[in-house]
Each structure stands twice: as structure tokens, then as C-alpha cells.
């Protein structure tokens, strides 16, 4: 099992050569095709103080948007470098919807972690993409310049999402020099957690992945902070976790660890839902 098709989302206003370089490096690692994708959406009419304000895009504005997307494609190909199999896709629609739709042709989606405030008419929502794409999503912090994934830490919970993440991450796990499976639990759950982790380690061994298991007692504060600290102490550069969330009134609501990893992890996170 490997990744044959990688997809990276490109911000049309600022094509991150660093992000594309990370994705291109992974395409080389797995001998995969690299697809760049971007989108721009026309801002719809809105109502202010009972008055409908219409801002329909003119043909000239639409032409400008198409030009920007084409330029982003050129910048993507330049950042990806010569000698790689690449493809460019773009659309005039909501970026999150575009990424979720286009993910049908990808084994792995690479996306830069959202900043605190983003324009969803230009940039996809990481969380919504993870929950809707049906593919593993690699969330890359802005400061990351490369990803070797020599040491992978799996944040384990005995859930469907975590099982999905383990399977989705197998190409990384096969090539890693070290794999650590960690479950963080309450003190009275350590025996059950050890049983869970031992099963995962045995499962991975059957897939030719030598892993070590750890069980840690939940400390005060965020579970995500504890996982991140353990990973950093061990020199890991990739976290693998399930993504836990649901939609309520058109807003994505995430579990605490998922939310905190999405907003604060300095380490790349591969998440599956």
C-alpha cells in the first residue's frame, strides 16, 4: 500500500512555495503524482439593515479571478519543480467544497493549517475538509519546511476514527524508522489502555511495521498539549490521529484534542475521519 496521488491546496493570493515543497517531497517519497488545487468563490449578495446589497461579479471580475487561478497554477508548477508528474485543477466556487469534491482522486490531501481568521471564499476550512473529504488530510503548520516522518507518533483512542487513521497512515508507517503508539487515559483506565495499545502494536507488526506502545496518565490541561510534548520530547515530526467532530447548525464542532491539534500543533498532523 502506498500513496499514488497526492493533492495540495494552494492559496491563490499567496502560493506557499514552502507548502508545495513539502508536498513535492512527499510525492517523491511515495513516487506519487502531485495535484495542485485552488478555488475562488464569488461573494454572494447579503442583507444589511433590511436592505439587500447585491455585489454580483461582472464578466471582467470573473475574468480576473480566472487569471489569478491560472497564475497560481503557474506558481504551483514552478514551486513543485521540474521532473515531477503534476496536474493543476481550479474552480470558481467555495474552496472547501472544491477541495472535498476534488479529493475523490487523491490518496492524501495536504493543506496548510488555517490561521485564526481566514476568508472562506479564498481558503478552505481545514476542519470541514477533514470531516468531508473521505481521505486522510495532512495538516502542515506554516513553519514546517520539510517532512521526513522518520519518527511517527500515533495518538490512539479505541474509536472508529483512530482505526481509520492507522490504516490511512500505513504508507508513512512502513517507511518510518520509529513508530510510537500512545494512549492517554485516566489512571483507572490504564489496564484497558495497555490492552488496546498492545493490540495495535500487534496489528501493525502483521503489516510489517515495528512499533512500540506507551500508556500515559492524563495530566491537567489539554490532552493535545500532552501528546505534542511527548512527540517533541521524542523528536517525532508526524502525529497520526483520528479527527472527532460533527456539524451543528452549519458549524463544525470538534472534540477538544482535535480542535487543539488543528489550531496549535507545531508538528504535522495526519488526520482521518
What is the pLDDT, as a whole number, of residue 11? 93
The domain locations on the chain are 5-41+67-140, 151-272
SS3 assignment, position 136:
coil
- Checking DSSP bridges between strand 51-53 and strand 46-48, what pairing results, if any? antiparallel
pLDDT in tens, 153-211: 999 999 999 999 999 999 999 999 999 999 998 889 999 999 999 999 999 999 999 99
What is the pLDDT, as a whole number, of residue 48? 56
Answer yes or no: is pLDDT of 249 > 50.
no
pLDDT confidence of 34, banded at 50, 70, 90?
very high
pLDDT confidence of 258, banded at 50, 70, 90?
confident
Taking residue 151's Cβ as centre, other Cβ atoms within 10 Å add up to 16
Q: Across residues 135-150, what is the average pLDDT?
A: 95
Tell the residue number behind the cell numbers 512527540, with chain if given: 231
Q: What is the mean pLDDT of the chain?
A: 89
Cell of 115: 490561521
Answer yes or no: is pLDDT of 220 > 90.
no
Q: How many separate helices (H) and strands (E) can be counted in the chain? A: 9, 14
Residue of 95, 87, 88 lying closest to 40 (CA atoms): 95
Report the alpha-carbon angle 124-127-129, nearest 5: 55
151-272 matches 5-41+67-140 in CATH topology: yes
pLDDT confidence of 252, banded at 50, 70, 90?
very low
- CA 201 from chain center: how many Å? 24
Compute the 3-state secondary structure of the chain and give helix, strand, coil in percent, each to the nearest 5: 40, 25, 35
Contact, 137 vs 109, CB < 8 A?
A: yes
Q: Across residues 123-133, what is the average pLDDT?
A: 90
pLDDT confidence of 46, banded at 50, 70, 90?
low
Answer yes or no: is pLDDT of 246 > 60.
no
Taking residue 9's Cβ as centre, other Cβ atoms within 10 Å add up to 28
The secondary structure of residue 174, as a DSSP letter, is H
What is the pLDDT, as a whole number, of residue 120? 85
What is the pLDDT, as a whole number, of residue 163? 96
Q: Considering the domain 5-41+67-140 in this protein, what is its CATH number?
A: 3.40.50.620
What is the pLDDT, as a whole number, of residue 199? 97
Q: Across residues 6-11, what is the average pLDDT?
A: 97
Residue of 6, 3, 147, 18 lying closest to 87 (CA atoms): 6
Nearest-Å Rg of the Cα atoms of the chain is 20
pLDDT in tens, 104-127: 999 999 999 877 667 888 999 888
Contact, 200 vs 156, CB < 8 A?
A: yes
Residue of 136, 158, 179 lying closest to 7 (CA atoms): 136
| CATH superfamily, region 151-272 | HUPs (3.40.50.620)
Q: Across residues 12-22, what is the average pLDDT?
A: 93
Answer yes or no: is pLDDT of 61 > 90.
no
Cell of 52: 439587500
Cα 137 to Cα 115: distance, rounded to the nearest angstrom: 17
Residue 96's Cβ-side half-sphere holds a number of Cα atoms within 13 Å equal to 15
What is the pLDDT, as a whole number, of residue 211? 97
Q: Across residues 59-82, what is the average pLDDT?
A: 92
pLDDT confidence of 250, banded at 50, 70, 90?
very low
Phi, psi of 228 (to 5 degrees): -60, -45
Answer yes or no: is pLDDT of 248 > 60.
no
Amino acid at each position: 500500500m502506498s500513496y499514488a496521488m497526492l493533492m495540495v491546496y494552494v492559496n491563490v493570493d499567496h502560493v506557499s512555495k514552502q507548502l508545495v515543497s513539502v508536498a513535492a517531497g512527499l510525492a517523491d517519497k511515495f513516487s506519487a503524482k502531485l495535484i495542485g488545487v485552488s478555488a475562488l468563490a464569488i461573494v454572494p449578495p447579503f442583507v444589511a439593515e433590511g436592505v439587500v446589497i447585491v455585489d454580483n461579479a461582472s464578466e471582467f471580475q470573473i475574468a480576473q479571478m480566472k487569471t489569478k487561478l491560472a497564475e497560481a497554477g503557474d506558481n504551483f508548477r514552478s514551486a513543485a519543480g521540474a521532473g515531477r508528474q503534476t496536474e493543476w485543477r481550479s474552480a470558481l466556487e467555495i474552496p472547501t467544497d472544491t477541495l472535498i469534491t476534488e479529493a475523490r482522486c487523491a490518496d492524501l490531501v495536504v493543506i496548510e493549517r488555517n490561521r485564526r481568521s481566514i476568508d472562506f471564499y479564498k481558503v478552505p476550512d481545514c476542519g470541514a475538509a477533514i470531516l468531508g473529504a473521505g481521505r486522510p488530510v495532512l495538516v502542515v503548520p506554516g513553519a514546517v519546511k520539510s517532512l521526513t516522518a522518520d519518527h511517527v507518533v500515533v495518538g490512539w483512542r479505541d474509536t472508529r476514527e483512530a482505526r481509520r487513521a492507522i490504516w490511512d497512515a500505513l504508507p508513512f508507517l512502513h517507511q518510518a524508522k520509529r513508530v510510537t503508539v500512545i494512549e492517554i487515559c485516566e489512571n483507572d483506565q490504564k489496564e484497558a489502555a495497555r490492552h488496546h495499545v498492545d493490540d495495535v502494536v500487534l496489528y501493525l507488526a502483521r503489516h510489517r511495521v515495528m512499533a512500540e506502545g506507551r500508556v500515559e496518565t492524563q495530566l491537567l490541561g489539554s490532552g493535545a498539549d500532552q501528546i505534542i510534548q511527548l512527540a517533541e520530547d521524542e523528536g517525532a515530526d508526524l502525529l497520526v490521529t483520528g479527527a472527532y467532530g460533527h456539524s451543528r447548525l452549519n458549524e463544525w464542532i470538534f472534540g477538544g484534542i482535535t480542535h487543539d491539534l488543528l489550531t496549535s500543533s507545531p508538528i504535522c498532523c495526519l488526520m482521518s475521519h
